[in-house]
Amino acid sequence: MKDRLPDDLRALFNAAWRGGEAARAWHQELKAGDWLVLLLGSIAVACSCALLWRGGVADRAIVQRDGKTVVELSLDSARKVPVDGALGVTVIEVQPGRARVLSDPGPRQYCVQQGWLTRAGAVAICAPSHITLQLNGGNGGKAGYDSLNY
């Protein structure tokens, strides 16, 4: 009776092992629906990576003077925006996906030399003009720090 049990796992494993060489290749165990599920699963994995680990992409530039927002620019079209600072006019340039301080009347030009900002949370500070340029990202505008104050 016992060895007639269909669920005798030892017999099952033995049969699977013996049949191993003569049996089909592994990919032949897959049916059409299996391939479909594997494809959908791969897409789901790729989407989860793209959605959850894309945090660093910036989509807005925020220009502030003395800690107050002067203008908010979306990073989807190219343009140049003049902003009045403490010393004169500071020009902010925006291109798709990036922004920079094009010119500033400050003496040392640190914020201009910083060049293009591309990542969310990046900041260029023109201290003499009291101007900051800051990029924010898509996930709630969260940067790597809590706050920034002039």
Partner 1 sequence: MTPSTIELVVTEDDRRIARYAAAAIALTVAEAALPSPLPGVKPGLANIIVLVVLMRYGWRDAAWVSVLRVLAGGLLLGQLFAPGFFLALAGAAGSLAVLAVAVHLPRCWFGAVAISVLAAFAHIGGQLLLARLWLVPHDGVFYLVPVFATAALVFGTVNGLVAARLLAAAALSPGPAPPESA
Interface with partner 1 by CB under 8 A: which range of 43-51, 75-83, 85-93, 105-113? Answer: 43-51
| Residue 38 engages partner 1 in binding (rule: CB under 8 A) | yes
Residue 39 Cα distances to 25, 29, 31, 52, angstroms: 20, 16, 13, 20
DSSP symbols for 107-136 = SS-HHHHT--B-BTT-EEEEGGGTEEEEEE
**Tokens representing 67?**
């800690």
Rounded distance between C-alpha atoms, residue 98 and residue 25, angstroms: 51
Interface with partner 1 by CB under 8 A: which range of 37-45, 64-72, 82-90, 92-100? Answer: 37-45
Which of residues 52 and 145 has its CB atom nearest to partner 1 in the complex? 52
Report 52-81 residues binding partner 1 (CB under 8 A). Answer: 52-53
Which of residues 53 and 145 has its CB atom nearest to partner 1 in the complex? 53
Least gap, CB of 24 to partner 1 (angstroms) = 8
Q: Under 8 Å CB-to-CB from 125, ≥6 apart: which residues?
A: 110, 111, 131, 132, 133
| Total residues in contact with partner 1, by rule CB under 8 A | 33
**C-beta separation of 130 from 88 below 8 A:** no
Which residues contribute to the site for partner 1 (CB under 8 A)? 4-9, 11-13, 15-16, 19-20, 23-24, 26, 29-34, 36-38, 41-42, 44-45, 48-49, 52-53
